[in-house]
């Protein structure tokens, strides 16, 4: 029978890194307290036995009040387990030992891992794990999950603990909340343990983090530096990604010209059109953006793991609180730049429902990587390379602006007003290892491709069908099904400068923004450079910008909506999260296009 172990630990103990180290799979490794919100699990071999490892959300103790703490309590009450693996931060044993002591008092099978020994060593801390083990009455191993130190010892201890474990039935922790109310004895025990097992140097060296904080958390320079850093990330992705993207386009053109066309020479015209212009054209146009997405996720992995986002929360809280949000909402907005879905799930660390709902309502305005590829395509087609990054920057600013306007308008509403405290831990700066960045980036890319293959294939096929049927019509003309829909929508979208063909792309973008460019490729029956040139010829700059604004603001994608619905457990709220952005998108694009075209005199 498969044995099961769960990783249970406080935020900032390197739990996710440990999970990656153990399983080789990749959980999200955020240097941000409480970032692991999904229950990730993986199967590994320990001493010849199959063992399922489950990564639980970071919690402070077994009787806290946040959603994450409830998730963990429910999990422990309902699932039978063979072992709890509890990582603790070597530098903060005075706090982190509370959890193992509580678990030991409940008589549960526990293996304690003193993690981040590399950082403890740098600080000159010496930890006697034998003394700790004796004091706790639990096995203790000192490790560094990040660098793999102590891994053989950890695996041996794991194997031994699993062999000797009597297991814990589901419900072993029930009533823990009542049984653990007497906290003072735990506190005394932890203090005694720390004193016996930890040797702290008289003079702690000034940490690198403290020096860096003096600059990056500076009252005047902090925010400009932060925005400069974010700009560098986005500009870096743009500059590095463009040549890669061109290379991909060239490659796909070559394949189409030299392999696909000769291969399909004898097939009927309609089928050939479907395969080449529909499926291949749509897919290859989207695939050309994969290198940019990969780069973006690698950059974001570095930023997220560095600990800089917590500083951003500190710098931004004074502003965010005036909008009814807090510093964490700002960080979730930033996470949303990768993908809105994990950012929305990340709001689980908030205890107040009102604050969570408001955060969930503003996160979809974050310019996610799927929207980024739409913008990169249009920017590449219509804007000079010198101007393009600034136009992109303006879209990022617009993304913040719409989020802030939404929060400002709704913060006084009784459903969104909260008095949630803002108290969060500030981890030291960490440079993730290449391995961490690679695993994190790879996981995201895999997710992206997984979604891409399903939704995009379905999307482009549907677009092709709608634009090429009824049989015999001029593709995407007014007589095709898509043309009819586009025509029917014209009274609404025409004043925004969005023509019938773009309307069809927008409709499909509702499913996922990844489909928009693929849809354009199918609608125009062109791909790569030819598509760029055609779009450059058929749109003016104002229409393109209006289209991008609409794309940025309106309903993010079906996955985001589904996540909002699941997290809020409210259909009404999910409906608001669809209708409000749609209305705002229309209003913003309308005002922009009408005002700008009058000013320019088009």
Partner 1 sequence: MTTRLTALEPGQNAAITAIHAAEALHHRLNALGLRVGKQIQVLRQAAFRGPLHVRVGNTDIIIRRSDAACIELRAA
Residue 528 falls in which region: left (phi positive, over 0), alpha (psi -120 to 50) or beta: left
CA distances from 38 to 68, 86, 490 (A): 10, 18, 42
The CB density around residue 233, as the number of other CB atoms within 10 Å, is 17
Q: Is 94 in the site for partner 1 (CB under 8 A)?
A: yes
**Site track for partner 1 across 549-588, x = CB under 8 A:** ----------------------------------------
User: Is residue 525 within a helix (H) or strand (E), and if so which, with residue range?
Assistant: none
**3-class secondary-structure state, position 185:** helix
Cis status of the peptide bond prior to 470, with omega within 30 of 0: yes
Interacting span for partner 1 (CB under 8 A) from 60-68, 269-277, 290-298, 442-450: 60-68
* Near partner 1 by CB under 8 A: residue from 106, 244, 401, 426: 426
DSSP code of 92? G
Tell me whether residue 426 or residue 542 sits nearer to partner 1 (CB atom). Answer: 426
217 belongs to the binding site for partner 1 (CB under 8 A): yes
Q: What are phi and psi of 542, to 5 degrees?
A: -65, -45
Helix (H) or strand (E) holding 89: strand 83-89
389 binds partner 1 (CB under 8 A): no
Decide: 307 and 331 in contact? Cβ < 8 Å.
Answer: no
Q: Which of 1, 202, 220, 386 binds partner 1 (CB under 8 A)?
A: 220
- Contact between 313 and partner 1 by CB under 8 A: the answer reads yes
The answer to the question of residue 68 lying near partner 1 (CB under 8 A) is no
Q: Does 2 bind partner 1 (CB under 8 A)?
A: no
- Ranges within 161-190 binding partner 1 (CB under 8 A): 183, 187
Q: What is the largest CA-CA distance in the chain?
A: 85
Looking at 319, 408, 558, 583, which residue binds partner 1 (CB under 8 A)?
A: 319
Which of 19, 60, 238, 592: binder of partner 1 (CB under 8 A)? 60
Task: Give 132 or 313: the residue with its C-beta nearer to partner 1.
Answer: 313
Which residue's CB is nearer to partner 1, number 171 or number 201?
201
Is 10 a binder of partner 1 (CB under 8 A)?
Answer: yes
Q: Binding to partner 1 by residue 318, rule CB under 8 A?
A: yes
- Binding mask of the shown chain, residues 331 to 370, with x at each position contacting partner 1 by CB under 8 A: --------------------x-------------------
What single-letter DSSP state applies at residue 47? Answer: T
Q: What CA–CA distance (Å, rounded) separates 238 from 389?
A: 8
What's the number of CA atoms in the CB half-sphere (13 Å) around residue 237? 27
Nearest alpha-carbon partner for 461 in 290, 282, 270 = 282
Which region, judged by CB under 8 A, interacts with partner 1, from 42-50, 317-325, 379-387, 580-588? 317-325
CB within 8 A of 125, min separation 6: which ones? 90, 91, 198, 199, 200, 201
Please say whether the beta carbons of 331 and 312 come within 8 A. Answer: yes
For 172, residues 6+ apart whose C-beta sits below 8 A from its C-beta are 76, 106, 108
Residues 32, 309 contacting (CB under 8 angstroms): yes
- Mapping DSSP onto H, E and C, the string for 143-173 reads CECCCCECHHHHHHHHHHHHHHCCCECCCCC
Using CB under 8 A, pick the residue from 423, 434, 471, 571 that binds partner 1.
423
Contact 160, 91 (CB under 8 A): no
Rounded CA separation 471/279 (Å): 18
Scanning 218-226, 290-298, 540-548, 562-570 for contacts with partner 1 by CB under 8 A, the matching segment is 218-226
Closest CB 91 distance from partner 1, rounded Å: 5
Question: 13-52 mask for partner 1 (x: CB under 8 A)?
Answer: ----------------------------------------
When the beta carbons of 425 and 529 are compared against partner 1, the nearer one is 425
Q: Does position 213 bind partner 1 by CB under 8 A?
A: yes
Nearer to partner 1, 49 or 425 (CB): 425
Strand partners of residue 127:
198
Among 52, 71, 92, 275, binds partner 1 (CB under 8 A): 92
CB of 65 to partner 1, least distance (A): 4
The C-alpha atoms of residue 435 and residue 110 are separated, in whole angstroms, by: 28
Q: Is 327 in the site for partner 1 (CB under 8 A)?
A: yes
If the CB atoms of residues 207 and 447 are measured against partner 1, the closer one turns out to be: 207
Query: What is the binding site for partner 1 (CB under 8 A)?
Result: 10, 60-61, 63-65, 91-92, 94-95, 98, 183, 187, 213, 217, 219-220, 222, 310, 313-315, 317-319, 321, 326-327, 351, 421-428
């Amino acid at each position: 029978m498969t044995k099961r172990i769960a990783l249970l630990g406080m935020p900032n103990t390197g739990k996710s890194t440990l999970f990656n180290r153990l399983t080789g799979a990749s959980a999200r490794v955020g240097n941000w307290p409480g970032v692991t919100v999904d229950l990730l699990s993986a199967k590994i071999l320990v001493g010849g036995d199959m063992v399922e490892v489950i990564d639980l959300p970071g919690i402070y103790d077994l009787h806290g009040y946040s959603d994450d703490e409830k998730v963990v309590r429910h999990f422990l009450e309902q699932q039978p387990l063979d072992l709890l693996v509890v990582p603790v931060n070597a530098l903060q044993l005075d706090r982190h030992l509370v959890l193992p002591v509580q678990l030991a008092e409940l008589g549960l099978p526990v293996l304690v891992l003193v993690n981040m020994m590399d950082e403890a060593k740098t600080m000159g801390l010496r930890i006697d794990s034998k003394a700790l083990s004796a004091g706790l009455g639990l096995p203790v191993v000192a490790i560094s999950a990040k660098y793999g130190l102590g891994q053989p010892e950890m695996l041996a201890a794991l194997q031994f603990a699993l062999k000797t474990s009597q297991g814990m039935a589901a419900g072993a922790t029930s009533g823990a909340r009542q049984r653990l109310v007497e906290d003072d004895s735990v506190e005394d025990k932890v203090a005694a343990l720390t004193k016996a097992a930890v040797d702290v140097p008289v003079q702690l060296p000034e940490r690198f983090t403290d020096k860096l904080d003096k600059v990056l958390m500076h009252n005047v320079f902090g925010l400009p530096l932060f925005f400069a850093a974010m700009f560098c990330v986005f500009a870096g992705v743009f500059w590095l990604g463009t040549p890669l993207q061109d290379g991909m386009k060239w490659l796909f053109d070559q394949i189409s010209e030299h392999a696909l066309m000769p291969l399909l020479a004898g097939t009927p015209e309609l089928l050939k059109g479907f395969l080449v212009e529909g499926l291949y054209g749509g897919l290859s146009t989207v695939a050309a953006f994969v290198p940019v997405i990969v780069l973006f996720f690698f950059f974001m992995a570095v930023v997220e793991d560095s600990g800089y986002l917590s500083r951003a929360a500190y710098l931004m809280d004074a502003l965010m609180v005036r909008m009814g949000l807090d510093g964490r909402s700002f960080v979730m907005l930033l996470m949303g730049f990768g993908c809105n879905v994990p950012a929305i799930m990340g709001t689980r660390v908030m205890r107040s429902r009102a604050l969570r709902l408001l955060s969930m309502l503003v996160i979809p305005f974050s310019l996610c990587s799927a929207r980024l590829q739409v913008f990169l395509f249009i920017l590449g087609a219509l804007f000079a390379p010198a101007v393009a990054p600034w136009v992109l920057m303006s879209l990022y600013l617009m993304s913040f602006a719409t989020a802030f306007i939404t929060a400002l308008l709704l913060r006084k509403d009784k459903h969104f007003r909260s008095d949630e405290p803002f108290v969060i831990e500030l981890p030291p700066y960490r440079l993730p290892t290449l391995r961490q960045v690679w695993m994190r980036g790879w996981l995201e890319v895999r997710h992206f491709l997984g979604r891409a293959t399903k939704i995009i294939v379905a999307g482009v096929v549907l677009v092709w069908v709608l634009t090429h049927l009824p049989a015999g019509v001029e593709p995407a003309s007014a007589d095709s099904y898509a043309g009819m829909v586009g025509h029917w929508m014209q009274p609404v979208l025409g004043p925004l400068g969005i023509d019938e063909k773009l309307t069809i792309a927008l409709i499909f973008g509702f499913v996922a923004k990844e489909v928009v460019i693929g849809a354009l490729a199918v609608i125009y029956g062109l791909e790569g450079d030819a598509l760029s040139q055609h779009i450059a010829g058929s749109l003016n700059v104002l229409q393109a910008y209006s289209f991008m604004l609409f794309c940025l603001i309106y309903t993010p994608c079906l996955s985001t909506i589904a996540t909002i619905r699941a997290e809020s457990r409210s259909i009404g709220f999910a409906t608001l999260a669809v209708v409000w952005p749609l209305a705002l998108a229309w209003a913003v694009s309308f005002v922009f296009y009408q005002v700008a075209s009058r000013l320019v005199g088009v």
